[in-house]
């Protein structure tokens, strides 16, 4: 069995995807790179075909949650590593998420940025932190981080749920904590495109919170 399956969901990431996949390939473990093209309208599909070991193409944009689950179903690894498509060269740091899993110290690891100038000021992050703490007693510094890895044994639980859009990270944390998983946050300098305080950034955060709320309302823990 392949040791690590790297799953990268990608939507219109032609500018950054190739560098991200190449960086993921530098991981010092036996691994496969699975790229799920989530209905992109640019050249993401062609880049995935060229650089990934497995490329899966969704005809229409299904959202991050379903794209990740599609990749998980194709994964053969003992460990599943999820990476955002816009990490570029910083994806080479992702190996740090695997060590606690391989040492059986954790079931789910999440990347938190070592030096983050925003300091957790985002309203979505704060709400999700409080929400997870209220429901589980666990406080997470980076509950929305898309850079995370987990033991294969948790696939059965994660594939039994229906995840949509940007709600996947929040719900994944809640479901795994309630299932008895041990979580560990790992400092790294993996970085990706920041939306900032622009109008598009505000729209992104509003849409993110709306999707998280919708997922929470339709879920029975």
pLDDT in tens, the chain (221 residues): 679 999 999 999 999 999 999 999 999 999 999 999 999 999 999 999 999 999 999 999 999 999 999 999 999 999 999 999 999 999 999 999 999 999 999 999 999 987 544 444 588 999 999 999 999 999 999 999 999 999 999 999 999 998 888 899 999 999 999 999 999 999 999 987 665 555 555 666 667 777 787 777 777 55
Q: Which residues contact 5 (CB under 8 A, 6 or more apart)?
A: 31, 32, 34, 71, 74, 75, 76, 77, 79, 80, 81
Q: How many domains does the chain have?
A: 1
Which pLDDT value is given to residue 69?
Answer: 98
Q: Where would I find the beta strands (DSSP E) of the chain?
A: 4-10, 31-38, 54-58, 79-82, 108-113, 148-151, 183-188
Which pLDDT value is given to residue 211?
Answer: 76
Q: Exposed, middle or buried: residue 52 (CB in 10 Å: 0-12, 13-18, 19+)?
A: buried
Which pLDDT value is given to residue 196?
Answer: 52
Which pLDDT value is given to residue 116?
Answer: 47
Which pLDDT value is given to residue 197?
Answer: 55
Looking at residue 131, the DSSP 8-state letter turns out to be H
Domain of residue 191, CATH code: 3.90.550.10
Strand, coil or helix: 39: coil
Looking at residue 176, the DSSP 8-state letter turns out to be H
Handedness of CA 112, 118, 122, 127 (dihedral sign): positive
Which pLDDT value is given to residue 216?
Answer: 74
Q: Which residues contact 129 (CB under 8 A, 6 or more apart)?
A: 120, 139, 140, 141, 143
Domain that holds residue 34: 4-217
Which pLDDT value is given to residue 200?
Answer: 59
């Amino acid at each position: 069995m392949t040791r690590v399956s790297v799953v990268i969901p990608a939507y219109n990431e032609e500018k950054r995807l190739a560098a991200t996949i190449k960086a993921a390939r530098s991981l010092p473990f036996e691994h496969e790179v699975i790229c799920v093209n989530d209905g992109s309208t640019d050249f993401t599909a062609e880049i995935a075909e060229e650089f990934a070991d497995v490329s899966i193409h969704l005809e229409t944009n299904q959202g991050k949650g379903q794209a990740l689950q599609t990749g998980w179903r194709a994964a053969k690894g003992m460990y599943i590593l999820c990476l955002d498509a816009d990490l570029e060269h910083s994806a080479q740091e992702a190996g740090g998420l695997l060590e606690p899993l391989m040492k059986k110290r954790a079931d789910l690891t999440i990347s938190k940025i070592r030096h983050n100038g925003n300091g957790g000021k985002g309203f979505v992050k704060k709400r999700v932190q409080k929400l997870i703490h209220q429901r589980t007693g666990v406080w997470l510094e980076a509950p929305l981080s898309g850079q995370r890895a987990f033991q294969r044994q948790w696939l059965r639980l994660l594939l039994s749920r229906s995840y949509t859009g940007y709600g996947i990270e929040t719900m994944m944390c809640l479901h795994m904590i309630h299932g008895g998983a041990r979580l560990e946050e790992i400092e790294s300098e993996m970085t990706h495109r920041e939306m900032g305080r622009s109008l598009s950034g505000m729209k992104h955060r509003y849409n993110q919170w709306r999707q998280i709320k919708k997922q929470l309302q339709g879920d029975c823990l």
